[in-house]
Structure 1
Amino acid sequence: MDTAPTPTERTVIGMWTDLLGNAPAGTDADFFELGGQSLTLLQFIARVQDTFGVELPVEMLFSEDLTVALAARAIDEALLTSVGDDELAALMAELDGLSEEQVQALLGERGNA
């Protein structure tokens, strides 16, 4: 894996580690190859709802290779669609007022300097 996992990917990795009993080696790790089953997937979906407050499309999770990256992307997309236009505009205005260093600190991606 060339890049560090995103915050959402890190959360998914933690959830899968708890549910499956072993940590995914990276963001391309497949849920079912790690021992996940239908019941475990439903438990994961419930944890996503509890943690992020969004519902994941069950059909998508069963129809594709379910990797950490795919699950995280689905969560992020669901979060984005749940944000109203006014709230999104306010968040964008707040981000516009931040320096690059402040944005990096918020994202947890501090420079190597």
Structure 2
Amino acid sequence: MTGPHQTTAADQRVRESALTHPDVREALAFRHDDAWALAVVPVRFTSVIEIREHLWSLLAEDGPALVALVDALPADPDAFAATLPTLPATRITRFVPPHSELERTLCAMVAESVGVPDASRVGLDDDFLDLGADSMSVIQLVTLVQESLGVELPLEEAVDAGSVRALAHAVSSRSGRDA
């Protein structure tokens, strides 16, 4: 983005959709890296992936690729965009689609194990816990990896991975497949 932020009808639609989530107090929609981004002041700490999923269910392909939890809305979205890399991982989600066949397979396995109905909504960097993982779903994931890919992955390693990207590296290192 360049120049002062000007609110458009599309900005307003994304913002108003965000405000329908019970944990969103305030929201600011803006364009970042040619995609929608959203700064959210939450009512209480909440999962950024949960907010993203809520918006995707309402807006489909117009949903934001990036959601950031903030203490106060930024006055200048351009300046705020420059600070995004400094936000803690628990306060930001940026959807990154899988690129390799292994990553797509693992996204589908994670979606199945945590109950996400559409595997295309699981990104490489999405945190398993934010997606709804618990001990049983991680056991199911490890079982799926072993049965489908023939890779024995220790439960602790799957838990420590925490994301599809890290899981793909773990599977790749154990199997010789490219991540």
Task: Tell which deviates more after alignment, 70-79 or 17-26.
Answer: 17-26
The structure whose Rg is larger is: 2
Among residues 164, 167, 175, which one is paired with 1:68 in the alignment?
164
Report the secondary structure of 2:176's partner residue. helix
Report the secondary structure of 1:16's partner residue. helix
Measured at CA, do residues 38 and 3 of structure 1 come closer, stay the same or move farther in structure 2, by a change above 3 Å? closer
Report how many aligned residue pairs link the two structures: 81
- Are 2:103 and 1:6 equivalent residues in the alignment? no
Counterparts of 1:2 and 1:46 in 2: how far apart (Å)? 25
Runs of 4+ aligned structure 1 residues displaced above 4 Å come to 1-4
The question of whether the paired residues in 1 share the 8 Å contact of 2:109 and 2:141 is answered with yes
- Structure with the larger RCO, 1 or 2 (CA within 8 Å, 6+ apart): 1
Superposed CA offset, 1:30-88 (max 9, x none): 111100001110000000000111111222223x351010111111111129xxxxxxx
Identical counterparts, % of pairs: 31
Measured at CA, do residues 29 and 15 of structure 1 come closer, stay the same or move farther in structure 2, by a change above 3 Å? same
Report the secondary structure of 1:33's partner residue. coil
What code does the residue aligned with 1:59 have? Answer: E
- Are 2:127 and 1:30 equivalent residues in the alignment? yes
Measured at CA, do residues 7 and 38 of structure 1 come closer, stay the same or move farther in structure 2, by a change above 3 Å? same
Counterparts of 2:126 and 2:150 in 1: how far apart (Å)? 24
Q: Which residue of 2 aligns with 1:47?
A: 144
- RMSD over equivalenced CA pairs, Å: 2.4
**TM-score normalised to the size of structure 2?**
0.40
Structure 2: any 5+ residue segments left out of the alignment?
A: 1-94
Report the secondary structure of 1:19's partner residue. helix
Measured at CA, do residues 4 and 19 of structure 1 come closer, stay the same or move farther in structure 2, by a change above 3 Å? closer
Structure 1: any 5+ residue segments left out of the alignment?
A: 82-113
**TM-score normalised to the size of structure 1?**
0.61
Counterparts of 2:97 and 2:131 in 1: how far apart (Å)? 21
The question of whether the paired residues in 1 share the 8 Å contact of 2:110 and 2:141 is answered with yes
What code does the residue aligned with 2:144 have? Answer: R
The question of whether the paired residues in 2 share the 8 Å contact of 1:30 and 1:65 is answered with no
1:19 CA displacement: 2.0
Q: Which residue of 1 aligns with 2:115?
A: 21
